[in-house]
Amino acid sequence: MLSKLYSFARISAGVIALSVSGFAAQAANTPAYDPDALRLALSWEKIKFLVEDPDEQRKQMDALGDQADALAEQRPDAAEVVIWDGIITSERASLANEQGGISGPIKALQLAIRARDTLDRMEKKDPKAFDAGAPTSLGVLYYRVPGFPMGFGDKKKARHYLEEAVRNAPNGLDAHYFYGDFLQEQGDYAKSAEVLKRALTLPAHSERPIWDKNRRIVTQELLEKVESKIVK
């Protein structure tokens, strides 16, 4: 994370009950993804959610980033692949800042800008690809990374991209989670709760079980936090 400057959601220790039977019933509704993009997504979620040592996580994410860069160069017209290259680059920026010193934040800034440019290009090309991955990730960058010295921090742009993401991916778990998180940061708790509740009813992504499970955990936790702030 770009500590205080670049805070992506982390998995907490809380555990919620997930309905396996409900997941199985909904699995047929999940979209088919580009095989290369899906491989990148599966590798990303294993590193992000299962690798606990920070140094090892950075090392593995950087290695995955090299693979993603190469794939994006080989397949520049494959929107889902290039989107995942942008997402992984963004994650590398988040992790780079955690290593401290001078080089970490500098590398983080360079990677964050590169991620933004990649995702911006893909949002213009195909805003619906991979569950609106490009506008979702752009929205996250614009509301979680500050304007100075990073050049982001634009709540108006964040809202634009996240609302676009939810429109383009009505079953997009990330789109709904991050839009709900953005709304609660803006103090719109009622709307945030509505969006987060919707997120928890979305079809399961059976082909991405690690990410699906953990995203629902943090969604439930965020919903409980939001509901505690709503005046009865």
Question: What pLDDT was estimated at residue 135?
Answer: 97
Beta bridge partners of residue 6, listed in sequence order: 2
| Tokens 């009865």 found at | 232
Question: What pLDDT was estimated at residue 26?
Answer: 36
Element (H, E) at 218: helix 209-227
List, in order, residues 6 or more apart from 221 with CB less than 8 Å away: 12, 14, 16
The rounded distance, in Å, linking the Cα atoms of 186 and 207 is 33
The rounded distance, in Å, linking the Cα atoms of 199 and 72 is 30
Phi-psi sector, 169: left (phi>0), alpha (psi -120 to 50), beta: beta
Q: Is the peptide bond before 209 cis (omega within 30 degrees of 0)?
A: no
The rounded distance, in Å, linking the Cα atoms of 191 and 130 is 25
What secondary structure letter does DSSP report for 203?
A: P
The rounded distance, in Å, linking the Cα atoms of 69 and 89 is 9
User: Which has the closest alpha carbon to 213: 9, 73, 18?
Assistant: 18
Question: What pLDDT was estimated at residue 150?
Answer: 58
Question: What pLDDT was estimated at residue 171?
Answer: 95
Please tell me the total number of residues recorded for the chain in this structure.
232
Q: Which runs of E-coded beta strand occur in 10-124?
A: none
The rounded distance, in Å, linking the Cα atoms of 26 and 51 is 29
Residues 64 and 40 sit within 8 Å (Cβ to Cβ): yes
All structural domains of the chain: 20-227 (1.25.40.10)
The Cβ-side half-sphere exposure at 5, using a 13 Å CA radius, reads: 19
Distance of CA 132 to the CA centre of its chain: 11
Does pTM surpass 0.85? no
Phi and psi dihedrals of 6, rounded to 5? -150, 75
Question: What pLDDT was estimated at residue 104?
Answer: 75
The secondary structure of 79-97, three-state, reads HHHHHHHHHHHHHHHHHHH
pLDDT in tens, the chain (232 residues): 443 344 433 323 232 222 222 333 333 344 678 999 999 999 999 999 999 999 999 999 999 999 999 999 999 999 999 999 999 999 998 888 777 666 777 888 899 899 999 999 999 999 999 999 999 999 998 888 766 555 677 899 999 999 999 999 999 999 999 999 999 999 999 999 999 999 999 999 999 999 999 999 999 999 999 999 987 6
Question: What pLDDT was estimated at residue 46?
Answer: 97
